[in-house]
């Protein structure tokens, strides 16, 4: 792990920030390429995508504060630490969805077709961004006795985000990165097959919802909040909603394509 890639004393380049920047650049580049090939306005969709990224970053940090609100009310100075963490992705996803509704209406875009072209790049960006989590030491996993367990040792990570040091843990960000890259491959293949409009989006919601719900059982950090008497994490609760939305969208798309009798 390397929370800081470059440290000149007067200048520090955080690894998490670098990976997020790469995720945005590569995600937007693949989005433009896919949109142009589909006969859509790739430049416009890059602008839309950039706004979605901005709103997602804000939403991720807002949800992080909300799920740990008592803690931040008791220790307001710790809110500054939110600036060094990535936040809760699903909070960013919700904020991005709200922004997408506004932008789609403003630019008079076709909602499902637009989101179909965006979500493969979203999954790819997530895969790259999770590498930043691994480097920074955030989003750590639960205790692990398996051969591939990871042991964090950098005091800077502990100071920044509370990373436990000297303990064998599941490499949760690596799991999430590999999972998201697999989702990207599935979505890119589906999009190239020109499946029914909305099917790529629905598949993303389903795969990500199921995968994130399952992966949460291997998380070790407590900065994600819990609901329903601590039965589910906040991310798991939102994942259930994503799975339900995906099932409804898949059924709606199938019903539209079913020939009349």
- Structural domain total, the chain: 1
pLDDT in tens, 130-147: 999 899 888 899 999 999
Distances (CA, A) of 90 to 16, 86, 143, 166, 234: 18, 11, 24, 29, 9
What pLDDT was estimated at residue 248? 96
The average pLDDT across 240-250 equals: 95
pLDDT in tens, 217-238: 999 876 556 666 567 888 888 8
Answer whether residue 260 shows pLDDT above 60.
no
Residues across the chain: 261
The average pLDDT across 26-33 equals: 94
The average pLDDT across 106-128 equals: 93
The average pLDDT across 52-66 equals: 79
**52, two tokens:** 């979605």
How high is the mean pLDDT of the chain? 85
What pLDDT was estimated at residue 122? 93
What's the first-to-final CA gap in the chain, in angstroms?
A: 60
Answer whether residue 208 shows pLDDT above 70.
yes
Check the CA dihedral 10-138-184-125 and report its sign. negative
Neighbours of 136 (CB within 10 A): 27
What pLDDT was estimated at residue 146? 94
Q: Highest-confidence range of 152-156, 194-198, 204-208, 227-231, by mean pLDDT?
A: 204-208
The average pLDDT across 184-209 equals: 94
Neighbours of 120 (CB within 10 A): 26
Domain that holds residue 251: 4-257
Residue-wise DSSP of 44-73: HHHHHHHHHHHHHHHHHHHHHHHHTHHHHH
- What is the pTM assigned to this prediction? 0.86
């Amino acid at each position: 792990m390397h929370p800081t890639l470059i440290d000149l004393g007067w200048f520090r380049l955080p690894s998490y920030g670098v990976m997020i920047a790469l995720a945005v650049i590569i995600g937007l580049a693949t989005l433009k390429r896919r949109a142009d090939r589909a006969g859509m306005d790739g430049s416009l969709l890059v602008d839309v995508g950039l706004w979605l990224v901005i709103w997602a970053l804000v939403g991720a940090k807002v949800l992080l504060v909300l799920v740990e609100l008592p803690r931040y009310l008791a220790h307001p100075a710790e809110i500054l630490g939110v600036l060094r963490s990535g936040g809760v992705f699903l909070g960013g996803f919700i904020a991005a969805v709200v922004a997408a509704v506004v932008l789609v209406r403003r630019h008079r875009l076709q909602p499902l077709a637009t989101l179909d072209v965006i979500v493969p790049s979203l999954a790819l960006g997530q895969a790259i961004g999770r590498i930043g989590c691994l480097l920074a030491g955030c989003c750590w996993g639960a205790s692990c006795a398996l051969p591939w367990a990871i042991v964090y040792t950098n005091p800077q990570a502990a100071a920044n985000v509370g990373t436990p040091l000297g303990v064998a843990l599941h490499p949760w960000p690596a799991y999430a990165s590999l999972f998201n890259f697999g989702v990207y491959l599935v979505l890119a293949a589906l999009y190239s097959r020109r499946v029914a409009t909305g099917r790529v989006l629905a598949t993303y919601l389903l795969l990500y919802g199921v995968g994130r719900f399952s992966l949460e059982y291997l998380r070790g950090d407590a900065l994600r909040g819990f609901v329903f008497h601590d039965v589910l994490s906040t991310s798991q609760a939102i994942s259930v909603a994503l799975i339900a939305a995906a099932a409804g969208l898949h059924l709606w798309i199938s019903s539209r394509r079913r020939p009349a009798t």
